[in-house]
């Protein structure tokens, strides 16, 4: 009897093992996420390593797409019921994406998980996290402009370094001293500066792009177009900035890294992308606040967020991925490597960004600029609006038209755009 029992047990175990061997392994859940280049697939594997460890049954499939095409990709994929689960979202097309219902309302998720939004700069959350009071995305980074300057060039020509006391007059005076015909051929080949964005000049002169209710373009008001005129005058009146013809074969970033311009407006991300590679110690540089305008100091700012897409089939897991991408650890890592200003206050004001050992020395200027940064108007047609304005100021920039004339043409066209059926929700 004993031998029969042993045999019976062995047979039972063999049958169980056979069934176990036939059982299909549990399949992984694949989350699809849209991101922008230039970070490559290998680096993204590193970025997501901890998420995969925390969620062993989940695999994140990353799809790279250029910023300008992402909104179109989201529209098409959502219409075709093939929406990604998570996408990076630019502040420049956050409002259009939100107005078209592409993103999930994250308010219930934040409340359920007691996710702390108080650690994020409120200006940033309002700028490209919320649309009409609803939270659709969690900001990951802040992209704002400050003024880089070539310290070696300033020293050579005895020009004092810029600081928070500088206004437009100080800026022009310094730029004139730095503008030179270096090789004596009668043509300028070193300029004092390249201009900032047109929005900053409008705001600093007390102008506004749109009315408070976003129904009318106000660029045809004196405060707005006079600010734009100052921007154009840097090229065409003061000749301290290169014209489009003079820089036909070179970017503004390259002019600065080549040592051909003394002042350059850009974001913190320019350091690892351009400066570290191209300057290579050829000259010393630092960063200073945007020079004040006649009315105030203002700078254009935007950034990127992560959103759960409404068409996702795995929204809870997608939310976990969003939380991971905006965690303190991930934002700290990105700040130290890519030098993108973190959206979290605790990370931005830590050694991870503000006190990095490499230049520029006064990196805290970027943090301070958040308080006076302004984003592009949050309207569903902001991309079309920007295109209209950019096209209509083209002749202004080359000195063929006044800012007043250009803005008086652009303003009613933008107003018509704002009032058409496309923007009535």
Q: CATH for 29-144+301-373?
A: 3.40.190.10
In three-state secondary structure terms, 138 is strand
Per DSSP, 380 falls in state T
Interhelix angle 403-419/222-236, nearest 10 degrees: 130
Confidence at residue 38, expressed as pLDDT on a 0 to 100 scale = 65
Q: How far is CA 408 from the centre of its chain?
A: 30
Q: What is the pLDDT, as a whole number, of residue 39?
A: 65
What pLDDT does residue 10 have?
42
Distances (CA, A) of 78 to 70, 100, 188: 12, 10, 52
Angle between helices 41-54 and 315-325 (to 10 degrees): 120
Backbone φ and ψ of 174, nearest 5°: -65, -40
Calculate ∠ Cα 185-190-193, nearest 5°.
Answer: 150
CA 402 to chain centre: 31
Mean pLDDT per block of 10 residues along the chain (425 residues) reads: 44 43 61 83 85 95 89 92 95 93 97 96 94 96 95 98 97 98 91 95 97 95 98 96 87 94 95 91 96 96 95 97 97 91 92 85 93 91 93 93 97 94 49
Which tokens is 400 given?
């063929």
The neighbour count for residue 398, using CB atoms within 10 Å, is 13
Name residues whose C-beta falls within 8 Å of residue 66's C-beta, 6 or more positions apart in sequence: 36, 37
Neighbours of 394 (CB within 10 A): 12
Q: What is the CATH number of domain 146-299+377-423?
A: 3.40.190.10
Residues of the chain with CATH 3.40.190.10: 29-144+301-373, 146-299+377-423
Provide the 10 A C-beta neighbour count for residue 168.
17
Q: pTM above the 0.85 mark?
A: yes
| Runs of H (alpha helix) within 100-221 | 107-113, 122-128, 151-156, 168-178, 198-204
C-alpha 64/C-alpha 41 separation (Å) is: 9
Residue 18's pLDDT is what?
A: 44
* pLDDT attached to residue 14: 44
User: Which stretch of DSSP H or E encloses residue 193?
Assistant: strand 191-193
């Amino acid at each position: 009897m004993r031998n029969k029992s042993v045999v019976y047990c062995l047979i039972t175990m063999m049958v169980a093992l056979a069934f176990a061997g036939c059982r299909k392994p549990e399949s992984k859940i694949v989350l699809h996420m849209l991101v922008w280049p230039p970070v490559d697939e290998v680096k993204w594997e590193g970025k997501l390593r901890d998420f995969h460890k925390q969620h062993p049954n989940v695999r994140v499939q990353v799809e790279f797409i250029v910023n300008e095409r992402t909104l179109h990709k989201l529209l098409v994929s959502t219409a075709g019921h093939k929406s990604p689960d998570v996408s990076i979202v630019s502040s420049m097309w956050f409002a259009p994406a939100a107005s078209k219902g592409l993103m999930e309302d994250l308010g219930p998720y934040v409340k359920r998980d007691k996710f702390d939004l108080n650690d994020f700069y409120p200006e940033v959350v309002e700028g490209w996290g919320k649309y009409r009071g609803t939270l659709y995305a969690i900001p990951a980074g802040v992209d704002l402009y400050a003024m880089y300057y070539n310290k070696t060039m300033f020293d050579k020509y005895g020009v004092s370094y810029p600081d928070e006391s500088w206004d437009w007059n100080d800026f022009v005076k310094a730029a004139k001293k730095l503008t030179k015909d270096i090789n004596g051929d009668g043509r300028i080949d070193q300029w004092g500066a390249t201009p900032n964005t047109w929005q900053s000049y409008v705001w600093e002169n007390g102008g506004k792009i749109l009315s408070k209710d976003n129904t009318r373009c106000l660029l045809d008001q004196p405060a707005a177009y006079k600010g734009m005129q100052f921007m154009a005058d840097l090229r065409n009146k003061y000749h301290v900035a290169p014209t489009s013809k003079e820089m036909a074969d070179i970017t503004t970033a390259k002019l600065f890294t080549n040592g051909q311009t003394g002042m350059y407006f850009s974001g913190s991300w320019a350091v690892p992308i351009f400066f570290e590679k191209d300057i290579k110690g050829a000259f010393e540089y630092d960063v200073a606040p945007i020079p004040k305008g006649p009315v105030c100091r203002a700078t254009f700012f935007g950034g990127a967020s992560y959103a759960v897409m409404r068409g996702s089939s795995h929204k809870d897991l997608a939310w976990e991925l969003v939380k991971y991408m905006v965690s303190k650890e991930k934002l700290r890592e990105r700040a130290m490597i890519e030098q993108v200003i973190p959206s979290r206050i605790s990370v931005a004001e830590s050694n991870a960004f503000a006190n990095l050992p490499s230049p520029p020395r006064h990196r805290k200027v970027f943090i301070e600029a958040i308080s006076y940064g302004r984003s592009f108007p949050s309207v569903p047609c902001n991309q079309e609006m920007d295109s209209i304005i950019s096209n209509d100021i083209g002749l202004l920039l080359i000195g063929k038209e006044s800012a007043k004339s250009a803005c008086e043409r652009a303003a009613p066209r933008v107003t018509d755009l704002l009032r058409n059926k496309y923007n009535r929700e």
